[in-house]
Structure 1
Amino acid sequence: MKRIIQNLLLMVQFLTRIPVNLNLPCEKEDFKRGAIFLPVVGFIIGAIQWGIYELFIRILPLEPTIVIILLAGIIVTGALHLDGVGDTCDGFFAFKGNDRIIEIMKDSRIGSYACISVIFDLLFKYALFSSIAPSFPIGIIVVPIISRFTTVFIITIGKNAKKTGSGNLFVENVGKLQLFISFLLTTGILILMMNAIHVIILLFAGVVFTAIFNEFSKSKIGGITGDILGANNELVEILTLILIAVILR
């Protein structure tokens, strides 16, 4: 039981800026076991954003409140996933060979495509959260849970595009058992918050999109990297928000 809690805390420590000032075991096996908790990490991030929304919507108009929850998400995650989508777009749209794409993705400098992708990512989230939050505020929690589950899915089906990198702690390390346990956790949490049919629709859409994105990444660089995990997370969040907005109409 102690090791399970440590693996959960390791995921919080690794994927967020939430202060977990503990010296935790961080062998590859710990990341493998900890992967089941990615949707729980999504729940924690979403719950923080939801709490901030419920606090500020009482004293501020909707629009600045949405800006604050977006900023809160960036602070809590350290912009980890936004950085991933930016680096991925810089690499994928460079129209270079596989090795050159990976080199561009590793470059700490921001290119035009990264800048554009981050701007549109935040614009989509701003517009969609503004649309759904007044009638379905719990959706603020639902979205990061689903996106983190699809991360577990892609690291289960994907393969490494390079020999080293943060993504290698998960990719080709996490198996079907971890995916299944993560699925049970995800559905268990989501069914407590929304209609079961809607849960199935959102999870199915996220998984299908992720499978397609995995194949696209494989065609570009032969596999996936940590940046691609971040990009997939962001894109699935936007897709989930769009579907929730459609459901609520």
Structure 2
Amino acid sequence: MFAPIRWLILALQFATILPTPSVRTATERDIRCSVVWFPVIGMLLGVLLWVFQSFFVHHMPSLAASVVSLSIYTLATGALHLDGLMDTADAMGSRRPREAALEIMKDSRVGAMGVVVCLFAILGKWSAIASISPDHWEPFVVVPMMSRLGMIWSMVVAPSARSQGLGALFARKIPRWTVAVATCLCGAVCGLVLPFQQCLWVLLYAILTVTLFTGWMVHRFGGTTGDTYGALNEIMEWVGWYVFLCASA
């Protein structure tokens, strides 16, 4: 199988629950190279969100339409990133020492802090999406795309907090060319669909969010994990929706 196609299938299997062909043999290098497709998958999921929002907003109130479309969008990802957000919030909220907090993050059970943060994340995205007219399709493409690019940036700049797990598989181990290709792709898409000023705002919020969040994770846990990547994705989406709301105000 042609390598880029194999990487695309692996990325789809990792980031969505969409049916894909099976990949019989996949090396760790294949898995690391697959991240180059993350922003593309974000764009596809964003288009899915926009299509459903555009359809349902003509058949029900905007808030109700947003519930349905956001539910479909979240289910398409298997709620993977929300799970990472909740696990990270539980670990951060525990105020335990580093190793104990990492064990809490690894625990599959969800605590009160995780539930509260997840609720705020969903409510925030729901209200923001309901406030953006489907006639303006650009945020639906750009926000999910940039949130996936943010995960790639975090992978390349921060060490892993654990010796095993997704963080150890990706942290400072993904090929540099994947970062360059993904970044150039996102920059090209933003330049094509957004005014120059909005491109600057998108770049600014992306860099600030990744820098502040990743730095916080390194300070608290000594590095990043698979859960913190998911948390970063959710936070970048949340911030991104409100950046576009402020830009259109």
Task: Please tell me the TM-score bracket, short chain as reference.
Answer: over 0.9
Structure-2 residue corresponding to 1:239 = 239
Deviation at 1:173, TM superposition (A): 1.3
Shift in Å at residue 123 of structure 1?
Answer: 0.8
Q: Contact conserved, 1:6 with 1:24, CA < 8 A, in 2? A: no
The one-character-per-residue Cα deviations of 1:96-134 (angstroms, maximum 9, x if unpaired) are 011100100111111010010010001111111112235
1:179-222 deviation digits (Å, cap 9, x = unpaired): 11111111222333222331232122112211111111111110
Cross-structure match for 2:36: 36
Deviates more, 1:18-27 or 1:7-16: 18-27
2:39 and 2:149 in contact (8 A); partners too: yes
Gaps of 5+ in 2: none
Q: Which residue of 2 aligns with 1:150?
A: 150
Q: 1:77 to 1:196 in 2, by over 3 A?
A: same
Moved more, 132-141 or 172-181: 132-141
Tell me, what secondary structure is at the counterpart of 1:93?
helix
- 1:120-131 correspondence to structure 2 within 5 Å: 120-131=120-131
- Between the aligned partners of 1:69 and 1:117, the Cα distance in structure 2 is 21
d(CA) in 2 for partners of 1:133 and 1:112? 34
**Deviation of the 1:137 alpha carbon:** 3.4
Instruction: Kindly provide the CA deviation profile for residues 51-74 of structure 1, in whole angstroms up to 9, marking residues without a partner as x.
Output: 111221222221111001110121
In the alignment, what sits opposite 1:19? 19
The one-letter code of the counterpart of 1:224 is T
CA drift at 1:80: 0.4
Identity within the alignment, %: 27
CA distance in 2, matches of 1:173, 1:28: 10
What is the aligned partner in structure 1 of residue 79 from structure 2? 79
Tell me the SS of whatever aligns to 2:235. Answer: helix
- Asked if 1 retains the 8 angstrom alpha-carbon contact of 2:161 and 2:167, the reply is no
After superposition, the C-alpha distances for 1:125-174 in whole angstroms (9 at most, x for unaligned) are: 11111122355233122210010011110001011000111233321211
Q: Return the letter of the residue paired with 1:234.
A: E
TM-score by length of 1: 0.95
TM alignment of 1:65-214, pairs within 5 A: 65-134=65-134, 136-214=136-214
SS at match of 2:144: helix
User: Whole-Å Cα distance in 2 between the matches of residues 174 and 133 of structure 1?
Assistant: 37
Q: CA RMSD in A?
A: 1.5
Partner Cα distance (2:219, 2:211) in 1: 13
- Kept after mapping to 1: 8 A contact 2:10/2:23: no
Deviation sequence 1:14-40 (CA, Å, 0-9, x none): 111011132254211112221111100
